[in-house]
Amino acid sequence: MLIITSLQLISHLILSSTHISNSHYPQFFERNRIVHITQGDHEGRGVIVSWVTPNEPGSSKVTYWAENSELKKHAVGKFVTYKYYNYSSPYIHHCTIKNLEYNTKYFYELGTGNATRQFWFTTPPEVGPDVPYTFGLIGDLGQTFDSNRTLTHYESNPAKGQAVLFVGDLSYADAYPLHDNNRWDSWGRFVERSVAYQPWIWSAGNHEIDFLPEYGEGEPFKPYTHRYYVPYEASGSTSPLWYSIKRASAYIIVMSSYSAYGMYTPQYKWLMNELPKVNRTETPWLIVVMHCPLYSSYVHHYMEGETMRVMYEQYFVQYKVDVVFSGHVHAYERTDRVSNIAYNIENGLCNPKYDGSAPVYITVGDGGNQEGLLYEMVDPQPQYSAFREPSYGHATFEIKNRTTAYYAWHRNQDGYSVEADSFWFHNLYWTSSSDSSAAYF
């Protein structure tokens, strides 16, 4: 006798490699679907709501209202479409809701009549130095059984993340024949249960490039940039691949590991203008998100981020970046506070050293994608590496106040509340870095 549980059936519908064409979706899928939200402005009072309609454009209107309020408001967005080889996208809607109240629960509706779907989100507290806030951290998620376990663990974590910092590599559509863009749709359905209710702050990884010139697809990041809008113009950026936001007591800078970043490039010019603007008396926690790690002791992808490290590490130290979150390496690692910026052509000082003014570098590329975990590590473990382990999982970053934050990494094989690695952060701007002269490793 074949027994199929509800969870197995749902997982099959979401993650199945057999795709239903847009013209044959059952009635449930005719509704607005693949709903996701992200921050819609620089300060945290805006939300970008995105969703798709499969067969016809329908309405790009969002109806929204505050909890315990009868006053319903409306915002109208737009829709876009794209083609990728033999795939035609559904109608992808993006609508920005502006001028929301801080720290308020809002309900929002998409569609009309029988096709209406309702969701909710909570805006962050007003920006300020002692505002507590909890971020989830997920990377390299994909759409496998392990991906589902990672997301379930995050949803069940008692730390209760309020927004996710996603460190790149979303659907892994490019891992399938001809970069099967149906996988973008199935991934969107998979994560909707979380990202329709709390913002995920997006960054692009190498699996978002989708560069396939031999089949006429020469525009990098085409599916990603059509599907995932971010408020890049609010921070003066010229590209959705690098931007910044404020959220509660954090200032978050998203960088692109796979866009030009050398001196005088648009990304470089933007960052050189951005870092001096950060007011640490207003947003004391300075966080950088990028896909490729600058420090990693795993053999696979070893030193792939070296040129970017040489380019930008000096500025991360100068401006006292608290932490750099990355993915790409399909495993977990946390460094000590280290820097390797003393080298010049004569002194030979080319080893990392402990530096109390430097960031902690954390790799969370362990979301669960189909490429599997990486087990081969540099041996012996470098002294700059404080903790490393090839296991699937997610992390949380709990800001307590202007001086203190608590970080924890959770493995999938453990109970939801088990912390396999943890670290108390002391804010670099508000805490003395008198130990920064420690010896080289």
Chain centroid to CA 134: how far? 14
Distance, CA of 252 to chain centre: 11
Buried b (16+ CB within 10 A) or exposed e, 206-236: bbbbbebeeeebeeebbbbbbbbbbbbebbe
Distance (Å, whole) CA 310 – CA 303: 11
Look at residue 190 and give its three-state secondary structure: helix
User: How far is it, in rounded angstroms, from Cα 252 to Cα 286?
Assistant: 6
| CA pair distance 150, 127, nearest whole angstrom | 30
Q: Which string of DSSP letters, residue by residue, matches 367-410? A: S--TT-----B-SSPPTTEEEEE---EEEEEEE-SSSEEEEEEE
CA distance 167 to 137: 7
Query: In this structure, are residues 50 and 37 in contact, taking their beta carbons and an 8 Å threshold?
Result: yes
For residue 358, CA distances in Å to 286, 323, 363 come to 12, 8, 16
Q: Which of 93, 207, 301, 330 is catalytic?
A: 301
Q: Which of 419, 417, 418, 332 is nearest to 156 (CA)?
A: 417
Please name every residue paired with 247 in a beta bridge, in sequence order, or none if there are none.
250
| Cβ atoms within 10 Å of 299's Cβ, excluding its own | 13
In angstroms, rounded to a whole number, what is the distance separating the alpha carbons of residues 243 and 42? 9
301 given a catalytic annotation? yes
| Alpha carbons 272 and 264: distance in angstroms, whole number | 10
Single out the residue of 129, 131, 143, 195 nearest to residue 174, CA to CA.
Answer: 143
Q: How far apart are CA 360 and CA 375, in angstroms?
A: 22
d(Cα 191, Cα 329) in Å, to the nearest integer? 21
Element (H, E) at 184: helix 182-195
| Residues taking part in catalysis | 301
